[in-house]
């Protein structure tokens, strides 16, 4: 077997959007209803095979609380990939995500692959099921329309996904599409 290519990946985004939950879902196939906020950052690794390539993600899961913002450059410096997370039920979290994207585009490695991820999709699906009369996509729980985030991602050159760390929906796709997008050295 060929040696795995190491890919340094950083997660950024507002507090409580589900960054740690996404990583735990990807690495441990597990979900916790009430997670403690991350302090500083957490480090995890996970291997992933895509096409004929074996990738080992070295993941820095950063803390979203504002008091940790100044630590972020330490984690995104030299990163080959970034996952910028927002919460589809919280409009302000997309604004925060956009400011992280701007910071990455200005300060990080110019070849960095950035994925924009709208998490907590299960809350929208759940609300739609409970309100059978509502037309699809009209849920009041959803505060960020998918088309709006997708259009922003496209014009900014980002990969785009919606996920649920709770159900696992879309989570593996984020990491496998990133793996496919990393330039071969």
Binding residues vs ligand GTP (CB under 6 A): 13, 15-21, 32-35, 37-38, 63-65, 119-120, 122-123, 164-166
Judged by beta carbon distances under 5 to 8 A according to partner kind, the member of Mg ion, ligand GTP, none in contact with residue 80 is: none
Contact status: 80 vs Mg ion (CB under 5 A): no
Cβ 145 to ligand GTP shortest distance, Å:
18
Please measure the distance between the N-terminal and C-terminal CA atoms of the chain and give it in whole angstroms.
Answer: 18
Cβ 114 to ligand GTP shortest distance, Å:
17
Q: Which residues contact 80 (CB under 8 A, 6 or more apart)?
A: 7, 8, 9, 109, 111, 112, 113, 182
The phi and psi torsions of 6 (rounded to 5 degrees) equal -85, 135
Token couple for 167: 């159900």
Containing H/E element for 107?
helix 91-107
Three-state SS at 71: helix
Contact pick of 8, 11, 17, 38 for Mg ion (by CB under 5 A): 38
Closer residue to ligand GTP, CB minimum distance, 71 or 134: 71
Judged by beta carbon distances under 5 to 8 A according to partner kind, the member of Mg ion, ligand GTP, none in contact with residue 97 is: none
Contact status: 20 vs Mg ion (CB under 5 A): yes
Rounded CA separation 151/139 (Å): 20
Residue nearest to ligand GTP (CB): 64
Question: With contacts defined by CB under 5 A, how many residues of the chain interact with Mg ion?
Answer: 3
Contact 170, 88 (CB under 8 A): no
Closer residue to ligand GTP, CB minimum distance, 2 or 70: 70
């Amino acid at each position: 077997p060929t040696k795995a290519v190491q890919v340094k990946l950083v997660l950024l985004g507002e507090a409580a959007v589900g960054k740690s939950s996404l990583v735990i879902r990807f690495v441990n196939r597990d979900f916790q209803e009430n997670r403690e906020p991350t302090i500083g950052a957490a480090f995890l690794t996970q291997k992933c095979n895509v096409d004929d390539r074996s990738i080992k993600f070295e993941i820095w899961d950063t803390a979203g609380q504002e008091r940790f913002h100044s630590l972020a450059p330490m984690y995104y410096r030299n990163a080959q990939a970034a996952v910028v997370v927002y919460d589809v039920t919280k409009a302000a979290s997309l604004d925060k995500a956009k400011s992280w994207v701007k910071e990455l585009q200005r300060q990080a490695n110019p070849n960095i692959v950035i994925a924009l991820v709208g998490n907590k999709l299960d809350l929208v699906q759940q609300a739609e099921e409970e309100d059978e009369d509502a037309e699809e996509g009209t849920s009041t729980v959803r505060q960020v329309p998918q088309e709006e985030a997708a259009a922003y991602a496209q014009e900014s050159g980002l990969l785009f996904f919606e996920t649920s760390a709770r159900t696992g929906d879309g989570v593996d796709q984020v990491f496998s599409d990133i793996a496919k997008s990393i330039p071969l050295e």
